[in-house]
Amino acid sequence: AYETDLAFLKRIAGEYGYAFSMRGKVMSFYKRTELKDAKSVVVITREDVESYRFRDKTNNIVKSATVAYHDPKTKKTHKHTAKGKSGKSSRSSADEHKVHVRAENPQQAKLKAEAAESRHNEDQTSAELSLIGSPVLMAGVAVVLSGFGKYDGKYTINKSRHSIGRG
């Protein structure tokens, strides 16, 4: 199947746990775990929000991810399993995700398994908020939500949309 250069870069970045962005002539790769661990830029309280919706899912949330690779020297198949932490929710699944990707060595298998486990579980708890815009609220930025009960905590913005209207 045909794959564009951008689709290829996005796929490879995702396999290794990176986010990929192309803005103008600048290509950027961000390690997803570093985006999640980044210091939050703002605290958003319930009073700041016009409307909100939270989603806490258990479907497609995995306990672990496994990547198998073949060692041509020993002619044996080896596996690497990455076990993650559950997200903001205390619920977790007992499912194991078997990742069907090529890995040439133990290091690649480990990186790809960890990225797959993290990718599967990163949207276990998600939120949609409507609030007065701010230029600092953009994709990749960490924020802290406060005043939302069990959903309080740190979130990474996946997508933001700013609109200007009269009135």
> What are the pLDDT digits (tens) for 95-114?
777 877 778 888 888 888 88
Query: Is the Cβ–Cβ distance between 125 and 86 less than 8 Å?
Result: no
Determine the average pLDDT of the residues in 46-53.
Answer: 94
> Mean pLDDT: which of 64-73, 93-102, 126-135 is highest?
126-135
pTM over 0.75: no
pLDDT at 162: 83
The total number of residues shown for the chain amounts to 167
Residue 49: the pLDDT is: 94
Of 8-17, 28-37, 92-101, 125-134, the one with minimum mean pLDDT is 92-101
Average pLDDT, the chain: 84
Residue 167: the pLDDT is: 62
What pLDDT is stored for residue 9 in this prediction?
A: 92
pLDDT of residue 86: 45
- Here the contacts of 45-53 (C-beta below 8 Å, separation 24 or greater) are 45/145, 45/146, 45/147, 46/146, 46/147, 46/148, 47/147, 48/131, 48/132, 49/129, 49/130, 49/131, 50/130, 50/131, 50/132, 51/129, 51/130, 52/127, 52/128, 52/129, 52/130, 52/148, 53/127, 53/128
Q: pLDDT for 22-48, tens place per residue?
A: 888 999 898 888 887 889 999 999 999
